[in-house]
Amino acid sequence: MDDQRVGAAIRSVRIRRGLRQSDLARLAGGSRATISRVERGHLASLTVETLRRITAVLDIRLDVVARWRGGDLDRLVNSRHSALHEQVARRFSALGEWLVMPEVSFAIYGERGIVDILAFHRQRQMLLVIELKSEIVDVNELIGTLDRKRRLCMQIAHEEGWPVSTEVRVSAWVIVSDTSTNRHRLAAHRAMLRAAFPTDGRAMPGWLRQPDRVVRALSFWPNAHPWNAKPGAKRVRRRVAAVGDESDVWSRTNQPPRGSS
C-alpha cells in the first residue's frame, strides 16, 4: 500500500470505531495534527514507531516491507548467506577429525529451525553449533535462537545417527560477515555479547585442532560475496580468510568503522 492508502485505511477504521482524531491522538500519545497528517497520507515526516502506536490503537497490524528492484532484495540477502555458508563449510571440511553436516533442520517438541552447520569431534565428544550471519538484525534474537539450538543439538545429533555419548559437550560459534553495518550493531551491544560469547574468537583455530573445553565464540568473517563461493572465481574484494584468519569481535569493535574520520 502507498502512503495515501495507508492514511485512508487508518481514517476508515477510526470512523468505524467511532473515534475522533483527538480521541485517537490521546490514545496513541500524539497530537491531533499528527493524526491529520497520517490520514492525509503525509507519512514521510513520521517515525515507524509513531505510526505503529497509532495503528495499534485501531488494532491494525503494520508490516514494513523493504523492496529493491522487485524481488531482487530477497535473492541478494540469500545469496550473501549462501556465499558465507560455502566459504566456511569448504574451510571447515579440511579439518579431518570433525564430522560436518550443513543445513540441519529439526522439529523437536514443537520447536523448529535449522542449524547452519553442525559439527562433531568424536574423539573429544564435542558438538559444535555454528550460526552464520550475513546480516545482524536483532542481537537478542541471535542469542536466544543459538541457546535453543545448543539445548537441542544433542537430540539432533542422535537423530542424525551420530555416535554421541552421554559425555558429549556442546560449544557454539557465531560467524558474522564483516561489514560496517554489522560492526556498528555488534558494538552497540558489546557488553551483552561479551557475556554471551566470552571466548576470544581468535582462539578458534587452535581450539578446532584440539577442542578440549566448551567455548562460546563470535568472529567476523571477511564479507561474503556470491562470486567468492564459486571455485576458481576471480577474487574481486579482500582475500577470503581461511579458518583461523577471522578477526575477533572484541578487538574489531574497538576500531572505528570504515569510512569514519
CATH code for the domain defined by 72-252: 3.40.1350
Q: Mean pLDDT over all residues of the chain? A: 80
Q: pLDDT band at residue 63, thresholds of 50, 70 and 90?
A: confident
More confident residue, 130 or 79: 130
Span 117-147, pLDDT tens digits: 999 998 899 999 999 888 887 888 889 889 9
Residues of the chain with CATH 3.40.1350: 72-252
Span 179-228, pLDDT tens digits: 888 888 899 899 999 999 999 888 888 899 899 999 999 998 876 544 34
Residue 69 identity (one-letter amino acid): R
What is the average per-residue pLDDT within 218-244?
A: 50
pTM comes to 0.61
Calculate Rg over the CA atoms of the chain: 23
Confidence (pLDDT) at 74? 54
Residues of the chain with CATH 1.10.260.40: 3-57
CATH code for the domain defined by 3-57: 1.10.260.40
